Amino acid sequence: MAEKTIDHAITATDLKSTATDPTHAGVLSFMRRRYTKSLEGVDAVVWGIPFDAATSNRPGARFGPQAIRRASAIFDNDPQYPFQRDLFADMAVIDYGDCLLDYGNHWQTPETIETEATRILADADFLLTLGGDHFVTWPLLKAHVAKHGPLALVQFDAHQDTWFDDGKRIDHGSFVGRAVREGLIDPDRSIQIGIRTHAPDDCGIRIVYGHEVEEMRPGDISSLIVSHTGGMPVYLTFDIDCLDPAFAPGTGTPVAGGPSSAKILSVLRGLQQLDIRGADVVEVAPAYDHADITAIAGATVAMYMLGLNAERLARRR
């Protein structure tokens, strides 16, 4: 035990160092990464946005970042499956903590998120955000587009989120339509996977409905995503309600008839060719969860996003 330490999230001196915390103890950053506001020498940042005032059904996603961090403790520091590598051996990752929001002034929320995300992206190559409800993706997109230019949106979701709004609403069901109207995303290169509801407008975005996901092989879905985005820089957003409620009961607007976590993780694994510039995992609401099923799924999706980024960095280097 002499060589082991605990509370790696606050005691680590090297951003690429290995944590040895027991799974059941220690400070719960995401995957035991160091908690810090310093962005020096950082390749990727994990950041929480505990916001759920835009939900149209069950609230609770403000507790999503805490739940995802807690669930991520199950990942030890052996090579992560299926990437066959220590994700942090050559990728410096920090947990930046959470976005500070004023719960009494929600109209300030979009600007607060965008400003903080812009500050992070000024120094960090990759930002992975833990939501929070799906409204948070809109200000995140604004910050990413300011750095990278217009993006293709790859959205895993049960809902299109293309409902019309006046550009001022705080609404988790309209951010995609707003992003198209504002030119943040290219609808011709954007794609939604797992949709099991209807909205009045598809905004020209390619939709892979839930029943199509059921009938397709994971590799075919991955290939479709890669070909449809056409090499354009991508923002990847994952609403946990993309998964069937059997695999993600802890969410605000669950929809039956969705895919399994195993199938969608296989799809994500096949996205190595995507030029992913930023990503988020949203709508984990632990109050409705059972045995951390949803939080574990959300943490695993987030780990896969970091794994894909680790491979992207390896190719560049």
Q: HEC profile for the chain?
A: CCCCCCCHHHHCCCCCCCCCCCCCCCCCCHHHCEECCCCCCCCEEEEEECCCCCCCCCCCHHHHHHHHHHHHHHCCCCCECCCCECCCCCCCEEEEEECCCCCCCHHHHHHHHHHHHHHHHCCCCEEEEEECCHHHHHHHHHHHHHHHCCEEEEEECCCCCCCCCCCCCCCCCCHHHHHHHCCCECHHHCEEEEECCCCCCCCCCEEEEHHHHHHCCHHHHHHHHHHHHCCCCEEEEEEHHHCCCCCCCCCCCCCCCCCCHHHHHHHHHCCCCCCEEEEEEECCCHHHCCCCHHHHHHHHHHHHHHHHHHHHHHHHC
The tokens for 252 are 């605000």
- The answer to whether 78 is annotated as binding is no
pLDDT value at 144 more than 90: yes
Domains in the chain, number: 1
Asked which of 163-172, 258-267, 281-290 is least confident by mean pLDDT, the reply is 163-172
Asked which of 13-17, 64-68, 95-99, 234-238 is least confident by mean pLDDT, the reply is 13-17
Task: Tell me the average pLDDT across 167-173.
Answer: 83
pLDDT value at 3 more than 80: no
Contact 161, 134 (CB under 8 A): yes
Task: Tell me the average pLDDT across 172-195.
Answer: 95
Task: Tell me the average pLDDT across 247-258.
Answer: 97
* Structural domain that includes position 119: 8-316
pLDDT at 117: 98
In a domain, 226, yes or no: yes
Give the sheet arrangement for strand 34-35, strand by strand: 34-35, 93-98, 44-49, 126-131, 276-282, 234-239, 152-156, 191-195, 206-209
pLDDT at 171: 85
pLDDT value at 212 more than 90: yes
pLDDT value at 169 more than 90: no
- The answer to whether 123 is annotated as binding is no
| Cα dist from 8 to 22, 90, 309, whole Å | 10, 18, 22
Of the chain, the percentage scoring pLDDT greater than 70 comes to: 99
Task: Tell me the average pLDDT across 307-315.
Answer: 95
In a domain, 300, yes or no: yes
In a domain, 1, yes or no: no
Q: What is the CATH number of the domain that holds 190?
A: 3.40.800.10
Spatial separation of the C-alpha atoms in residues 206 and 225, rounded to whole Å: 10
Task: Tell me the average pLDDT across 11-26.
Answer: 91
pLDDT at 165: 85
In a domain, 95, yes or no: yes
- The answer to whether 161 is annotated as binding is yes
Mean pLDDT of all residues belonging to the chain = 95
pLDDT at 132: 94
pLDDT, one tens digit per residue, over 184-211 is 999 999 999 999 999 999 999 999 999 9
Residue 258: band (very low, low, confident or very high) from pLDDT cuts 50, 70, 90? very high
Contact 19, 12 (CB under 8 A): yes
pLDDT at 30: 98
Spatial separation of the C-alpha atoms in residues 296 and 284, rounded to whole Å: 10
pLDDT value at 156 more than 90: yes
In a domain, 55, yes or no: yes
In a domain, 79, yes or no: yes
**Nearby residues of 43 by Cβ (< 8 Å), 6 or more positions away:** 91, 92, 93, 124, 125, 126, 309, 313
**Nearby residues of 29 by Cβ (< 8 Å), 6 or more positions away:** 8, 9, 35, 46, 69, 95
Residue 1: band (very low, low, confident or very high) from pLDDT cuts 50, 70, 90? low
- The answer to whether 289 is annotated as binding is no
The tokens for 274 are 């995507």
In a domain, 173, yes or no: yes
In a domain, 172, yes or no: yes
Residue 2: band (very low, low, confident or very high) from pLDDT cuts 50, 70, 90? low
CA-based nearest residue to 78, from 127, 37, 20, 29 = 20
- The answer to whether 241 is annotated as binding is yes
pLDDT value at 316 more than 90: no
- The answer to whether 280 is annotated as binding is no
